[in-house]
Amino acid sequence: MAGTNSKAELITGGPAIILVEPQLGENIGTAARAMANFGLSELRLVNPRDGWPNQRAKNASAKADHVIDNARLFATLEEALSGLNLVYATTARPRDMFVPVHGPQAAMQKARAHIATGQSCGVLFGRERTGLTNEEIALAGEIVTFPVNPAFASLNIAQAVLLMSYEWMRANSETDTAHFQTPQEPPARKEELIGLFQHLEGALQAANFFRPPEKKNHMVSTLRALFHKGGYSQRDITILRGVVGALEGRRTRNTPRRQAAEAKAAPPE
């Protein structure tokens, strides 16, 4: 189906669409077209195989130039998650992970409510052949699974992006946010949560926590899923980083307030 209205206002915004190591430029282009169809505009690319920019992607985007031209390139998924508070990982396969699982409609309703408060959201899509790894899903924290034929569950990238984009457009923001309370403190961004993961995992490694070693990856994924359930604020992350630092034996920062408190508590000479 073709057709555009040059007089209509272009709808942009919505959650960031993050493609992890996409192979073909054509797949990136058709995903960008699906985004533009339903009002999404932020495309993040993690290490595309054929490099970026890619003329084949632009040709396949059916003039979704505002998506293609503003796409951002990242070397790692951790970098691509920067600035995001809520991230979904898409998969059609069951995963042995203790993270929240949603259908596309519920996920995009939650995303609309989240974005309406001024927070940021992203949706991860995996490689054409192998999808996302469990470690990558653990970085996202929540899963979106598609209700597909279990005997034929494979979706290409553009199809998966189209499904999520359609549900984004279909979600009624006024209805979804009527009972949503703005958090008193800003929720933690993904880079802050990843920093906590790396800090904690380094401390646990030094303490010889990961035993036996061959189970380390599963233990790390389980720990990350546990922290994703918390809904932590930026302040929470700062406190937890301080706790881990204290357990590592670091001195607590000697601030003027702490100095005054210690002087007041000291016995007279």
Q: Which CATH class is domain 16-176?
A: alpha beta
Average pLDDT by consecutive 10-residue portion of the chain (269 residues)?
Answer: 67 95 96 96 97 96 96 97 95 76 94 92 94 91 88 88 95 49 72 93 92 91 85 90 88 50 48
pLDDT tens for 71-102 read 999 999 999 999 999 999 998 776 677 788 99
| Amino acid 187: pLDDT | 85
Whole-Å CA distances, 192 to 139, 224, 251: 12, 13, 21
Q: What is the DSSP string of 8-42?
A: SPPP--SSEEEEES---HHHHHHHHHHHHHTT---
Q: Tell me, yes or no, if the pTM score tops 0.85.
A: no
**Pairwise CA distance, residues 89 & 174, whole Å:** 25
Domain 190-247 has CATH 3.30.200: no
Q: How far apart are CA 149 and CA 179, in angstroms?
A: 35
Contact between 32 and 62 under an 8 Å Cβ cutoff? The reply is: no
Q: Where are the domains of the chain?
A: 16-176, 190-247
Compute the chain's Rg from CA coordinates. 22
DSSP code string of 122-138: EEEE-BTTTB--HHHHH
